[in-house]
Amino acid sequence: MVISVLFCVHVSGQTFNKEFTSALGAKNMAKAEEILKKWDFADSNDAELYVAYFNFYTVKSQEAVGLVSTTKYDNNYSKKALEYISEGIGRFPTRFDMRAAKIYMLANLKDFSTLTSEVIKTIEYSVKIKNDWKGAEFRIMDEPVEMFYGAIVEFQGLIYKEKNEALYSNMLKISEAMIKHYPKNVQSMLEISTVYVRQKKYNESIDILQKALKIEPNNTILNYNLAYVYEMKAEKANAKKYFEFVVANATEKENQLKEAAQRHLNELK
């Protein structure tokens, strides 16, 4: 009897989700809200309900400011969206889609302080669950570790594209958190070196790149970046050394990197 009840609730949740998605897609907000209320009453423990609430208030937030742009939000509605997705994360912490949704919303709201905190929380939780992340409807994710690494790079990219020097420290905090828990993650070392170059801290950039090369000595991107930093410092001999390594070792897929390294070598002659 219990199994029968649980099965009915699951099917009901799927039905509500389908109907809600249809109503939201048609921008029939009154109907979407009505479905949400019925869904909440039927099964307030459905993870997809919190995603639906987030999507509902995100759309309401965009409509409230009267703009098509998805980067502009009404504060009150966006706050509601964040409240629901935060509750969803609290209840279902392995759901990576919820975490990503919150982080992207924070980026659009230009709340990079909270965004940085959320990314670091995600990094810390990844260690706790050994990256056993779940997707929408708790689907098992293909290559969750690679997905996680790639997502962290994307999250940092949300900060980097602002081209705001005041936010460089946020990028460094995220990369440092990654290295703390994943000490061989050369991508995070590369991110740190990039920030240092932007800050004209060339020696610091060289130090972190050298550390990364000890882990992956044949990584052509690391070698290219190290050559570039040496070139910025006018240390031509070292710059040539690492550019030459790139030209000699770049794969077919890295042909553009090889060509760029060769151009630098031609200019250094």
Decide which of 153, 174, 195 is a domain's last residue.
174
Cα(81)–Cα(51) distance, integer angstroms: 9
One-letter amino acid at 9 equals V
Give this prediction's pTM: 0.89
How confident is the model at residue 5, as a pLDDT?
44
pLDDT at 182 over 90: yes
Mean pLDDT on 64-82: 77
Decide which of 21, 50, 66 is a domain's last residue.
66
Share of the chain above pLDDT 70, in %: 93
pLDDT at 161 over 80: yes
Q: Phi and psi of 190, rounded to 5°?
A: -65, -40
Q: Which residues constitute the domain of residue 252?
A: 184-269
pLDDT at 70 over 80: no
Using alpha carbons, list the distances in angstroms from residue 98 to 49, 56, 58. Answer: 11, 14, 13
How confident is the model at residue 194, as a pLDDT?
95
CATH code (residue 206): 1.25.40.10
Q: Are residues 194 and 265 in the same domain?
A: yes
CB 191 within 8 A of CB 171: yes
Q: Are residues 167 and 243 in the same domain?
A: no
Q: Are residues 163 and 194 in the same domain?
A: no
pLDDT at 129 over 50: yes
Tens of pLDDT along 205-244? 999 999 999 999 999 999 999 999 999 999 999 999 999 9
pLDDT at 1 over 50: no
pLDDT at 4 over 60: no
Report residue 236 as tokens. Answer: 């031509």
Q: How far out from the chain centre does Cα 62 lie?
A: 22
How confident is the model at residue 120, as a pLDDT?
98
